Amino acid sequence: MTSSPKAKSHFRKAVCSLAQKFHTHEHPGEKVVEWKFDAAGPLPTSIDSTSLRNKVALITGSSKSIGASIAKTLAAQGAFVVINYAKDSKSAEEVAQQINYAAITSTSDLASASLPSDHRENGENGQVEHPQSQPQHQAIVIKADSSTISGGQHLLQETLRIFGRLDILILSAGLMGSKSLSEIDEAFFDAHFDFNVKAPLFLVKAAAEVMARPGGRIIFLSTSLTAASTLLPNALCYVASKGAIEQITRVLAKDLGTRGFTVNTIAPGPVNTALFRAGTPQHVIDNIAAQIPTHRIAEPEDIAPIVAFLASPAAQWINGQILGVNGGYVV
Protein backbone atom coordinates (compact mmCIF):
# COMPACT_ATOMS: atom_id res chain seq x y z
CA MET A 1 0.00 0.00 0.00
CA THR A 2 1.50 3.33 -1.04
CA SER A 3 1.06 6.57 0.82
CA SER A 4 -0.51 9.55 -0.84
CA PRO A 5 1.69 12.54 -1.80
CA LYS A 6 -0.14 14.59 0.85
CA ALA A 7 0.65 12.06 3.61
CA LYS A 8 4.30 11.92 2.51
CA SER A 9 4.45 15.73 2.69
CA HIS A 10 3.09 15.76 6.26
CA PHE A 11 5.54 13.05 7.32
CA ARG A 12 8.44 14.88 5.68
CA LYS A 13 7.58 18.12 7.48
CA ALA A 14 7.33 16.34 10.83
CA VAL A 15 10.75 14.73 10.38
CA CYS A 16 12.31 18.01 9.29
CA SER A 17 10.80 19.82 12.25
CA LEU A 18 12.47 17.33 14.59
CA ALA A 19 15.74 17.44 12.68
CA GLN A 20 15.90 21.23 12.93
CA LYS A 21 16.39 20.90 16.66
CA PHE A 22 19.82 19.44 16.02
CA HIS A 23 21.08 21.08 12.82
CA THR A 24 20.24 23.65 10.20
CA HIS A 25 18.01 21.97 7.66
CA GLU A 26 16.56 23.69 4.63
CA HIS A 27 14.07 22.74 1.98
CA PRO A 28 12.97 24.83 -1.00
CA GLY A 29 10.10 27.09 -0.11
CA GLU A 30 10.44 26.50 3.64
CA LYS A 31 11.69 28.91 6.29
CA VAL A 32 15.16 28.11 7.58
CA VAL A 33 15.30 27.45 11.32
CA GLU A 34 18.79 27.76 12.79
CA TRP A 35 19.59 26.26 16.17
CA LYS A 36 22.66 27.54 17.95
CA PHE A 37 24.47 26.32 21.04
CA ASP A 38 27.03 28.47 22.82
CA ALA A 39 29.60 26.00 24.10
CA ALA A 40 31.15 28.71 26.24
CA GLY A 41 27.88 29.50 28.01
CA PRO A 42 26.66 28.13 31.34
CA LEU A 43 25.59 24.54 31.65
CA PRO A 44 21.83 24.05 31.32
CA THR A 45 20.12 23.72 34.66
CA SER A 46 16.97 21.73 35.24
CA ILE A 47 14.15 23.76 36.74
CA ASP A 48 13.91 21.23 39.53
CA SER A 49 17.58 21.60 40.44
CA THR A 50 18.79 23.06 43.72
CA SER A 51 22.27 23.59 42.32
CA LEU A 52 23.53 27.17 42.13
CA ARG A 53 26.45 26.39 39.87
CA ASN A 54 27.64 29.43 37.88
CA LYS A 55 25.22 31.76 39.68
CA VAL A 56 26.49 35.04 41.15
CA ALA A 57 25.05 35.96 44.54
CA LEU A 58 25.34 39.24 46.42
CA ILE A 59 24.60 39.03 50.15
CA THR A 60 24.51 42.26 52.14
CA GLY A 61 25.78 42.10 55.70
CA SER A 62 27.47 38.75 55.17
CA SER A 63 30.62 39.06 57.25
CA LYS A 64 29.11 37.22 60.21
CA SER A 65 26.05 35.48 61.69
CA ILE A 66 23.18 34.58 59.36
CA GLY A 67 24.61 36.44 56.35
CA ALA A 68 27.93 34.60 56.60
CA SER A 69 26.18 31.24 56.88
CA ILE A 70 24.08 32.07 53.82
CA ALA A 71 27.20 32.95 51.83
CA LYS A 72 28.91 29.68 52.77
CA THR A 73 25.83 27.61 51.94
CA LEU A 74 25.31 29.23 48.55
CA ALA A 75 28.99 28.75 47.75
CA ALA A 76 28.74 25.08 48.68
CA GLN A 77 25.98 24.82 46.07
CA GLY A 78 28.32 26.25 43.45
CA ALA A 79 27.53 29.97 43.53
CA PHE A 80 30.06 32.76 43.29
CA VAL A 81 29.41 35.00 46.30
CA VAL A 82 30.04 38.58 47.29
CA ILE A 83 30.81 39.01 50.98
CA ASN A 84 29.74 42.48 52.10
CA TYR A 85 30.81 44.32 55.23
CA ALA A 86 30.77 47.89 56.50
CA LYS A 87 33.26 47.82 59.39
CA ASP A 88 34.50 44.32 60.27
CA SER A 89 36.95 43.53 57.47
CA LYS A 90 38.59 40.72 59.44
CA SER A 91 35.38 38.70 59.74
CA ALA A 92 34.55 39.26 56.07
CA GLU A 93 37.97 38.10 54.94
CA GLU A 94 37.73 35.00 57.14
CA VAL A 95 34.41 34.03 55.56
CA ALA A 96 35.84 34.50 52.07
CA GLN A 97 38.96 32.52 52.94
CA GLN A 98 36.90 29.61 54.27
CA ILE A 99 34.84 29.52 51.06
CA ASN A 100 37.84 29.78 48.77
CA TYR A 101 39.82 27.19 50.70
CA ALA A 102 36.89 24.77 50.47
CA ALA A 103 36.67 25.41 46.73
CA ILE A 104 40.37 24.68 46.24
CA THR A 105 40.43 21.52 48.32
CA SER A 106 37.13 20.08 47.15
CA THR A 107 37.04 17.70 44.20
CA SER A 108 33.34 18.23 43.51
CA ASP A 109 32.10 19.78 40.28
CA LEU A 110 30.23 22.40 42.27
CA ALA A 111 33.32 23.76 43.96
CA SER A 112 35.34 23.75 40.75
CA ALA A 113 32.71 25.53 38.65
CA SER A 114 34.04 28.26 36.41
CA LEU A 115 32.53 31.67 35.96
CA PRO A 116 30.14 31.65 33.00
CA SER A 117 31.45 33.61 30.04
CA ASP A 118 28.01 34.55 28.75
CA HIS A 119 26.93 38.15 28.65
CA ARG A 120 24.42 39.88 30.82
CA GLU A 121 21.60 41.98 29.55
CA ASN A 122 21.86 45.53 30.81
CA GLY A 123 18.33 46.61 31.59
CA GLU A 124 15.83 47.15 28.82
CA ASN A 125 18.28 48.35 26.18
CA GLY A 126 19.81 44.93 25.62
CA GLN A 127 23.41 46.17 25.71
CA VAL A 128 25.98 43.45 26.22
CA GLU A 129 28.60 43.86 28.91
CA HIS A 130 31.45 41.63 29.95
CA PRO A 131 33.31 41.68 33.25
CA GLN A 132 36.31 43.99 33.25
CA SER A 133 38.34 41.40 35.11
CA GLN A 134 37.90 37.69 35.74
CA PRO A 135 37.72 36.89 39.47
CA GLN A 136 40.27 34.43 40.76
CA HIS A 137 38.18 33.18 43.69
CA GLN A 138 34.70 31.87 44.37
CA ALA A 139 34.17 34.46 47.12
CA ILE A 140 35.20 38.10 47.07
CA VAL A 141 34.91 40.82 49.71
CA ILE A 142 33.45 44.29 49.08
CA LYS A 143 33.29 47.05 51.67
CA ALA A 144 30.10 49.11 51.44
CA ASP A 145 27.62 50.62 53.86
CA SER A 146 24.44 48.88 52.75
CA SER A 147 22.38 51.04 55.13
CA THR A 148 22.65 53.88 52.60
CA ILE A 149 21.51 54.15 49.00
CA SER A 150 24.98 55.22 47.83
CA GLY A 151 26.58 52.30 49.65
CA GLY A 152 24.21 49.87 47.99
CA GLN A 153 24.93 51.37 44.57
CA HIS A 154 28.68 50.97 45.12
CA LEU A 155 28.19 47.35 46.20
CA LEU A 156 26.16 46.57 43.10
CA GLN A 157 28.57 48.32 40.72
CA GLU A 158 31.58 46.49 42.15
CA THR A 159 29.79 43.16 41.90
CA LEU A 160 29.05 43.79 38.22
CA ARG A 161 32.57 45.05 37.56
CA ILE A 162 34.14 41.90 38.96
CA PHE A 163 31.66 39.20 37.95
CA GLY A 164 29.88 40.87 35.05
CA ARG A 165 26.47 39.64 36.17
CA LEU A 166 24.12 39.17 39.12
CA ASP A 167 21.64 36.33 39.60
CA ILE A 168 20.80 36.37 43.30
CA LEU A 169 20.36 39.32 45.67
CA ILE A 170 19.93 38.63 49.38
CA LEU A 171 19.19 41.54 51.72
CA SER A 172 20.62 40.22 54.97
CA ALA A 173 21.95 43.41 56.58
CA GLY A 174 19.68 45.12 59.06
CA LEU A 175 19.30 47.11 62.24
CA MET A 176 17.56 45.83 65.39
CA GLY A 177 17.29 48.42 68.14
CA SER A 178 15.28 48.17 71.34
CA LYS A 179 13.27 51.14 72.56
CA SER A 180 9.72 51.57 73.76
CA LEU A 181 7.47 54.34 72.48
CA SER A 182 8.42 56.76 75.27
CA GLU A 183 12.10 56.37 74.36
CA ILE A 184 11.85 56.58 70.56
CA ASP A 185 13.02 59.76 68.88
CA GLU A 186 13.04 60.72 65.22
CA ALA A 187 16.66 59.66 64.69
CA PHE A 188 16.00 56.17 66.07
CA PHE A 189 12.92 55.76 63.88
CA ASP A 190 14.66 57.04 60.75
CA ALA A 191 17.69 54.81 61.32
CA HIS A 192 15.50 51.69 61.30
CA PHE A 193 13.49 52.60 58.23
CA ASP A 194 16.53 53.88 56.32
CA PHE A 195 18.52 50.72 57.03
CA ASN A 196 15.78 48.07 56.95
CA VAL A 197 13.44 49.48 54.28
CA LYS A 198 14.71 52.41 52.22
CA ALA A 199 18.24 51.21 51.37
CA PRO A 200 17.23 47.62 50.52
CA LEU A 201 14.33 48.82 48.36
CA PHE A 202 16.51 51.12 46.26
CA LEU A 203 19.20 48.45 45.95
CA VAL A 204 16.55 46.09 44.59
CA LYS A 205 15.37 48.79 42.20
CA ALA A 206 18.88 49.21 40.77
CA ALA A 207 19.64 45.49 40.73
CA ALA A 208 16.40 44.64 38.93
CA GLU A 209 17.64 46.54 35.87
CA VAL A 210 20.79 44.45 35.52
CA MET A 211 19.99 41.04 37.00
CA ALA A 212 19.98 38.00 34.74
CA ARG A 213 16.48 37.29 33.47
CA PRO A 214 14.50 35.18 33.70
CA GLY A 215 15.44 33.38 36.90
CA GLY A 216 16.62 36.28 39.07
CA ARG A 217 16.13 35.74 42.79
CA ILE A 218 15.55 38.48 45.38
CA ILE A 219 15.32 37.44 49.02
CA PHE A 220 14.66 39.73 52.00
CA LEU A 221 15.10 38.87 55.67
CA SER A 222 12.38 39.71 58.16
CA THR A 223 11.49 38.29 61.57
CA SER A 224 8.88 35.92 62.96
CA LEU A 225 7.98 38.68 65.43
CA THR A 226 5.79 40.19 62.70
CA ALA A 227 3.47 37.21 63.18
CA ALA A 228 4.04 36.47 66.86
CA SER A 229 1.21 36.94 69.36
CA THR A 230 3.61 37.86 72.15
CA LEU A 231 5.86 40.89 71.65
CA LEU A 232 8.07 43.03 73.81
CA PRO A 233 7.16 46.74 73.83
CA ASN A 234 10.71 47.76 72.90
CA ALA A 235 10.52 46.04 69.47
CA LEU A 236 8.31 48.72 67.90
CA CYS A 237 10.59 50.23 65.22
CA TYR A 238 12.28 46.96 64.36
CA VAL A 239 9.04 45.03 63.86
CA ALA A 240 7.37 47.92 62.02
CA SER A 241 10.25 48.16 59.54
CA LYS A 242 10.24 44.40 58.94
CA GLY A 243 6.48 44.48 58.47
CA ALA A 244 7.06 47.04 55.73
CA ILE A 245 9.53 44.70 54.05
CA GLU A 246 7.00 41.90 54.05
CA GLN A 247 4.43 44.09 52.28
CA ILE A 248 7.09 45.25 49.82
CA THR A 249 7.80 41.60 49.08
CA ARG A 250 4.18 40.95 48.16
CA VAL A 251 4.00 43.93 45.81
CA LEU A 252 7.38 43.37 44.16
CA ALA A 253 6.48 39.75 43.46
CA LYS A 254 3.67 41.03 41.25
CA ASP A 255 5.86 43.73 39.67
CA LEU A 256 9.19 41.96 39.13
CA GLY A 257 7.49 38.64 38.51
CA THR A 258 6.68 39.94 35.04
CA ARG A 259 10.43 39.93 34.34
CA GLY A 260 10.88 36.34 35.46
CA PHE A 261 12.15 37.21 38.96
CA THR A 262 10.94 35.82 42.27
CA VAL A 263 10.78 37.96 45.39
CA ASN A 264 10.43 36.27 48.77
CA THR A 265 11.17 36.91 52.43
CA ILE A 266 12.62 34.63 55.09
CA ALA A 267 11.32 35.36 58.59
CA PRO A 268 13.56 33.64 61.15
CA GLY A 269 12.67 33.16 64.77
CA PRO A 270 15.25 33.53 67.57
CA VAL A 271 18.72 32.78 66.22
CA ASN A 272 21.91 32.31 68.21
CA THR A 273 23.80 35.38 67.03
CA ALA A 274 25.73 38.10 68.82
CA LEU A 275 23.01 40.58 67.84
CA PHE A 276 20.30 38.46 69.46
CA ARG A 277 22.29 37.75 72.62
CA ALA A 278 23.39 41.35 73.12
CA GLY A 279 21.66 42.64 76.24
CA THR A 280 19.44 39.54 76.53
CA PRO A 281 19.76 37.70 79.87
CA GLN A 282 20.32 33.96 79.64
CA HIS A 283 17.11 33.22 81.54
CA VAL A 284 15.15 35.08 78.86
CA ILE A 285 16.85 33.06 76.12
CA ASP A 286 16.08 29.85 78.03
CA ASN A 287 12.44 30.87 78.34
CA ILE A 288 12.24 31.50 74.60
CA ALA A 289 13.89 28.17 73.83
CA ALA A 290 11.34 26.40 76.02
CA GLN A 291 8.58 27.64 73.68
CA ILE A 292 10.20 25.92 70.68
CA PRO A 293 9.37 22.21 70.22
CA THR A 294 13.06 21.25 70.04
CA HIS A 295 13.81 23.37 73.14
CA ARG A 296 16.60 25.32 71.50
CA ILE A 297 16.96 28.49 69.52
CA ALA A 298 18.15 28.31 65.92
CA GLU A 299 21.70 28.46 64.69
CA PRO A 300 22.52 30.45 61.53
CA GLU A 301 23.08 27.12 59.78
CA ASP A 302 19.38 26.32 60.31
CA ILE A 303 18.36 29.36 58.27
CA ALA A 304 20.84 29.32 55.39
CA PRO A 305 19.63 26.16 53.58
CA ILE A 306 16.14 27.61 53.22
CA VAL A 307 17.59 30.74 51.62
CA ALA A 308 19.69 28.59 49.28
CA PHE A 309 16.60 26.67 48.19
CA LEU A 310 14.66 29.88 47.45
CA ALA A 311 17.64 31.03 45.37
CA SER A 312 17.61 27.86 43.27
CA PRO A 313 15.79 27.03 40.02
CA ALA A 314 13.66 24.53 41.95
CA ALA A 315 11.95 27.41 43.77
CA GLN A 316 10.71 29.14 40.62
CA TRP A 317 7.05 28.77 41.66
CA ILE A 318 7.54 30.31 45.11
CA ASN A 319 6.95 34.02 44.73
CA GLY A 320 5.71 36.77 47.04
CA GLN A 321 5.85 34.53 50.11
CA ILE A 322 6.87 35.17 53.70
CA LEU A 323 8.44 31.94 54.99
CA GLY A 324 8.60 31.56 58.74
CA VAL A 325 11.77 29.65 59.63
CA ASN A 326 11.44 29.37 63.39
CA GLY A 327 11.24 25.69 64.36
CA GLY A 328 7.61 26.06 65.43
CA TYR A 329 8.16 29.07 67.71
CA VAL A 330 5.46 30.91 65.77
CA VAL A 331 2.78 28.84 64.05
Going from the first residue of the chain to its last (331 residues), give the mean pLDDT of each consecutive group of 10, the final group possibly shorter: 54 44 37 34 62 96 97 97 97 97 71 47 38 70 98 98 97 95 98 98 98 95 94 93 98 97 97 88 93 96 98 97 97 93
Q: What pLDDT, on the 0 to 100 scale, is given for residue 239?
A: 97
Residue pair 154/122 in contact by the 8 Å Cβ criterion: no
Q: What pLDDT, on the 0 to 100 scale, is given for residue 104?
A: 87
Residue pair 196/241 in contact by the 8 Å Cβ criterion: yes
Q: What pLDDT, on the 0 to 100 scale, is given for residue 275?
A: 84
Q: DSSP character for 271? A: B
Q: What pLDDT, on the 0 to 100 scale, is given for residue 5?
A: 56
Query: Which residues are marked as active site?
Result: 222, 224, 238, 242
- How far is C-alpha 175 from the geometric centre of its chain's CA atoms? 19
**Domains plus CATH for the chain?**
48-325 (3.40.50.720)
Residue pair 318/261 in contact by the 8 Å Cβ criterion: no
Please, is 296 exposed, middle or buried when counting C-beta atoms within 10 Å of its C-beta (0-12, 13-18, 19+)? middle
pTM metric for this prediction: 0.80
Q: What pLDDT, on the 0 to 100 scale, is given for residue 9?
A: 55
Give the C-alpha separation, 193 to 167, whole Å.
Answer: 26
Residue pair 153/194 in contact by the 8 Å Cβ criterion: no
